[in-house]
Amino acid sequence: MALTPTGASPNLTLNATSAQALKLAVGRTFTVNITKVDGNQVNFTLAGKPLTATTQQPLTEGKPLTVKVTQTQPNLVLQIQSKSLPQDSATRNQALMQSAYRQLLPNQIPIAQGIQQLTSLTNTGLLPSAIQSQLSTLLEQLFKPSAQTSAKELKRQLLSSGLFLESSLSKSSKPHPGDFKAKLLQLLQLVNQTPSNKQPELSRLSTLLNQTLNRLTLQQLQTIESAHLTNIQLPLAPNDHLQEVSIDIRKQKKATPPFWEVIMNLQLPIGELSSKLVIQEEVVSIVLWADNTALEKTVSDRLPLLKEQFHDALIPLKHIMMSKEKPTNTSQAEKVALIDIHI
């Protein structure tokens, strides 16, 4: 008797005599108990009768399997049901991720866009009073960054961005104060409990809440897949003066001594500004690049002030200069997460 893969499921193959002796019929299912695994030889019992098979399929001693009779002539074939087989956790997780992406990607919008549209919907004044009040409170409490924003406040906003909701609930059974995702879920629950009476505004609000929540969930999935690529769209109060920033942080371990480098790109109204900051033994070097002459002159004129600010902050500065070429990453430098993510 041999255990061989056939199609998607491996089979236990016995001779026809076994089928007659055990009175097995096609379509019946049984529980097989694995009593011993020795290399590719497996001993098991079926209906109290000890049997032996050889297999390339990894099986666990002492673990029961569910089998189905698929053939009795010329040989007896018992098909192991897939639910009995050990499943590779990485493969299973990847399948779950792909399934989630297929469901979420077509029905999501950027966080900033969702907030902007929620604000516009609030301004119509056509929502039920209870929903209008809760939505207005949510929007009023959104983060309003400024030059005075402290690192402590930024950390608090990151923790309440919605990215860590499930992690927080698993640890303390309650979300971080002001958690954005929790507030969206509470509002969505209220909307679902409110009779719509054919109000298009409620339908629109439900759609916006679901699309924004889906974007938050996508960010969580992306961070789980690649912790070194942290994609966080902070829920910010609408502000036309805010600009998106991309930051790339890497560490060159093979250098002597090792160094860190940060590349930051800004899309300003007057052009693109790129900067590369290198930190080696607590000494900083900075290279700046502008995509046009006017912006380059503006930045160059202010370099003395920037040098003075480094001096006042007691940060050793090796050099700070303009470059004719846009900064790039050092070869072999490894990308590093901006923050320690545990979702």
Return the percentage of the chain with pLDDT > 70, whole number: 80
pLDDT tens for 264-288 read: 988 888 889 999 999 999 899 999 9
Residues 108, 202, single domain; the answer is: yes
Among candidate residues 31, 53, 84, the one where a domain is terminated: 84
Q: Based on the domain organization, do 58 and 116 belong to the same domain? A: no
Distance (Å, whole) CA 50 – CA 231: 56
Q: How far apart are CA 210 and CA 181, in angstroms?
A: 11
Q: Which residue, among 99, 115, 94, has the nearest Cα to 216 in the 3D structure? A: 115
Same domain? For 46 and 163 the reply is no
Q: Are strands 49-55 and 2-6 parallel, antiparallel or unpaired?
A: parallel
DSSP character at residue 7? T
| Cis ω before 269 (30° cut-off from 0) | no
Q: Do the beta carbons of residue 208 and residue 153 sit within 8 Å?
A: no
Question: What is the extent of the structural domain holding 266?
Answer: 245-335
For residues 37 and 130, state if they share a domain: no
Work out the burial of residue 221: count CB atoms within 10 Å of its CB; fewer than 13 is exposed, 13-18 middle, 19 or more buried. middle
**130 plus 48 within the same structural domain:** no
Does the residue 10 lie in any domain?
A: yes
- Count up the domains in the chain and report the number: 3
Domain identity same for 273 and 177: no
Please check whether residues 110 and 220 belong to one and the same domain: yes
Question: Quick check: 166 and 219 in contact, CB under 8 A?
Answer: no
Q: Do 74 and 103 share a domain, yes or no?
A: no
Answer for the pair 131, 187: CB distance below 8 angstroms, yes or no. yes
Place of tokens 């969206």: 184
Tell whether 80 and 109 lie within a shared domain.
no
- Give the whole-angstrom CA distance, residue 273 versus residue 296: 9
Domain final residue, candidates 29, 54, 84: 84
- pLDDT higher than threshold 50 for residue 343: no
Mean pLDDT of the chain: 81
Let me know if residue 323 belongs to a domain: yes
Do the Cβ atoms of 150 and 167 come closer than 8 Å? no
In a domain, 342, yes or no: no
- Report the pLDDT value the prediction gives residue 18, as an integer from 0 to 100: 54
pLDDT tops 70 at residue 205: yes
Tokens representing residue 270 in the block: 């007057």
Domain co-membership, 142 together with 185: yes
Distance CA(59)–CA(84), nearest Å, equals 10
Residues 33-76: pLDDT tens digits?
Answer: 888 887 777 788 877 778 777 676 777 777 777 878 787 777 77
DSSP symbols for 246-302: EEEEEEESSSSS-EEEEEEEEEETTEEEEEEEEEETTEEEEEEEESSHHHHHHHHHT
> Does 96 lie in the same domain as 216?
yes
- What are the tokens at 288? 């700046």
In-domain check, residue 234: no
pLDDT digits 0-9 by tens, 293-315 = 999 999 999 999 999 999 998 99
Residue 324 sits in a domain whose CATH number is: 3.30.750
DSSP structural state of residue 143: B
User: Is 340 inside a domain boundary?
Assistant: no
Mean pLDDT of 222-251: 74
- Say what the pTM is: 0.57
Residues 74 and 111 placed together within one structural domain of the fold: no
pLDDT band at 184 (very low <50, low <70, confident <90, very high): very high
Q: How confident is the model at residue 237 (pLDDT cuts 50, 70, 90)?
A: confident
Rounded to whole angstroms, the Cα distance separating 5 from 12 reads: 9
Looking at this protein, which amino acid is placed at residue 190?
L
